[in-house]
Amino acid sequence: MLDIKFVRNNPDAVKANIEKKFQHEKLGLVDEVLALDILNREIKQEVEALRADKNRYSKEIGGLMAKGDKEGAEKIKAKVEADAARMSVLNAQEREVEAKIKKIMMTIPNIIDDSVPIGRDDSENVEVERFLEPKVPDFEIPYHTDIMESFGGIDLDSARKVAGNGFYYLMGDIARLHSAVLSYARDFMIDRGFTYCVPPFMIRSEVVTGVMSFAEMDAMMYKIEGEDLYLIGTSEHSMIGKFIDTLLNEDDLPYTMTSYSPCFRKEKGAHGVEERGVYRIHQFEKQEMIVVCKPQDSMYWYDQLWKNTVDLFCSMEIPVRTLECCSGDLADLKVKSVDVEAWSPRQQKYFEIGSCSNLGDAQARRLGIRVRGEEGKYFAHTLNNTVAAPPRMLIAFLENHLQEDGTVTIPEVLQPYMGKTQILTPKKG
């Protein structure tokens, strides 16, 4: 969320930013919120004037009563009562106007970084760099659930009966591999100096609206019926929410944390959830990383975060690339974002396995996360990035480590988490 003062002083820049994001329907909101801002300031000025008059009238009434001029004192008291009634009306109007301003300000997109490529949607995202050489084996690679089924490692039919499409049972070696990847990702981030955390898996509405846009909220979040609670779509939500309404000491920054959680997503508008595959699902587990830092450090941490994911995948011998998200593909709170994509030998193309985002002070402004520094108080910057998110991670892993005989090799870094297993062998029959 932008500062209303910034919008007031830079309306053309705000409109230009909206145009860069191809959200032309929001252009009128800038003039609307500026008109409300003027009205709000006029209301505040009148309220202040009435308060000043009240103080002055109180002294006058005291003086008149001391002189015995009760008639004059009563006339001024009548003015005080009339002014009090007017203040009551103005206070109600002020609350209404400020609610309208906040609602509009929460829909006006954040100012994107100058380096962000301009494009309408994810088809115009820009490849930045590739890591490790992608390979296509000289044998056919089965669909990922077929690979899992060869190990007796997945049961979609039972999950469909129990919970519907978008859920799964993982079993045996595949379930163990799933947990091994998460454990390795956890320790990988701890070794890089991040504090490990297991957060709440439900959050209140004030946190939801603080960490994401209304459009994202509608498309993603599951609400708990009858309670002010939502299931998290990613642990970033509750991790950033941890700092709500706090005044941080500048010397304690940055906060660098890595968190584990299950994640729950409606996947609304995602062209349906696959019945057979596990690429887009309603429930999964993820290792996440977040940073809360000083504004001048946020771009440094942005680069560190996506590099962590690249390094993790490369250590497991999975080729990846980074893809700069264009303006139209950025969620409204984001300043800059890069997707990390893994190579799929079966499809002979890359697919998304994580996303790194710098949100500037947008989340901090909504949640009241401030910093006390030498030069005063200011809003912190927040960033987040996926470390690893099975089962997408499993898809990339299985396809890149599958051998012609159906076995799957386990890279050295993962073997301690798999009981020193070096090769997974399919089930007979």
* Residue pLDDT, tens place only, 149-187: 999 999 999 999 999 989 999 999 999 999 999 999 999
In sequence order, the 6+-apart residues with CB closer than 8 A to the CB of 417 are: 179, 180, 181, 183, 184
Taking the whole predicted model, whether its pTM rises above 0.85 is answered as yes
pLDDT tens for residues 399-428?
Answer: 999 999 999 999 999 999 999 999 999 996
Per-residue pLDDT band for 272 (boundaries 50, 70, 90) equals very low
Run of H or E including 230? strand 230-231
213 vs 178, more confident: 178
Q: d(Cα 336, Cα 357) in Å, to the nearest integer?
A: 6
Residue 273 pLDDT greater than 70, yes or no: no
Calculate what percentage of the chain has a pLDDT beyond 70. Answer: 97
| 306 and 183 co-located in one domain | yes
Q: d(Cα 326, Cα 372) in Å, to the nearest integer?
A: 34
| 139 and 263 co-located in one domain | yes
What sign does the dihedral 271-275-279-280 (CA atoms) show?
Answer: positive
The answer to whether 378 touches 369, Cβ cutoff 8 Å, is no
Per-residue pLDDT band for 215 (boundaries 50, 70, 90) equals confident
Residue 269 pLDDT greater than 80, yes or no: no
Inter-axis angle of helices 298-315 and 172-191, nearest 10: 140
Per-residue pLDDT band for 130 (boundaries 50, 70, 90) equals very high
pLDDT tens for residues 240-263?
Answer: 999 999 999 999 999 999 999 999
| 132 and 205 co-located in one domain | yes
Does any domain span residue 117? no
Q: How large is the average pLDDT for residues 79-88?
A: 90
Q: Count of residues for the chain? A: 429
* E strand spans, 359-400: 369-373, 376-379, 381-388
Classify the phi-psi angles of 40: left when phi > 0, otherwise alpha if psi is within -120 to 50, otherwise beta. Answer: alpha
Residue 353 pLDDT greater than 80, yes or no: yes
- What is the residue range of 150's domain? 122-424
CATH, residue 40: 1.10.287.40
Predicted local confidence at residue 85, as pLDDT: 93
Q: How large is the average pLDDT for residues 310-318?
A: 98
Burial class (CB in 10 A: 0-12, 13-18, 19+), 277: middle
| 408 and 309 co-located in one domain | yes
Run of H or E including 322? strand 320-324
Per-residue pLDDT band for 277 (boundaries 50, 70, 90) equals confident
Residue 356 pLDDT greater than 80, yes or no: yes
| 418 and 320 co-located in one domain | yes
| 178 and 79 co-located in one domain | no
Does any domain span residue 207? yes
Does any domain span residue 73? yes
Residue (of 192, 190, 224) closest to 205 by Cα position: 224
Question: Order of strands across the sheet with 381-388?
Answer: 126-131, 320-324, 336-344, 349-358, 381-388, 283-293, 255-264, 195-197
Residue (of 295, 368, 288) closest to 111 by Cα position: 295
| 78 and 202 co-located in one domain | no
Number of domains, the chain = 2
| 19 and 168 co-located in one domain | no
Does any domain span residue 429? no
* Mean pLDDT for the chain overall: 94
Does any domain span residue 234? yes
| 279 and 375 co-located in one domain | yes
The answer to whether 204 touches 367, Cβ cutoff 8 Å, is no
Q: Which of 51-65, 93-107, 254-268 has the lowest mean pLDDT?
A: 51-65
Predicted local confidence at residue 254, as pLDDT: 98
Does any domain span residue 183? yes
Does any domain span residue 180? yes
| 176 and 225 co-located in one domain | yes
The answer to whether 50 touches 87, Cβ cutoff 8 Å, is yes
Inter-axis angle of helices 27-67 and 70-105, nearest 10: 160
Last residue of a domain, one of 105, 135, 163: 105
Q: d(Cα 247, Cα 376) in Å, to the nearest integer?
A: 11
Residue 283 pLDDT greater than 80, yes or no: yes
| 100 and 128 co-located in one domain | no
Predicted local confidence at residue 61, as pLDDT: 79
| 309 and 179 co-located in one domain | yes
Residue 429 pLDDT greater than 60, yes or no: no
Helix/strand/coil for 252: helix
Residue 317 pLDDT greater than 60, yes or no: yes
pLDDT tens for residues 26-42?
Answer: 999 999 999 999 999 99
CATH, residue 237: 3.30.930.10
Does any domain span residue 17? yes
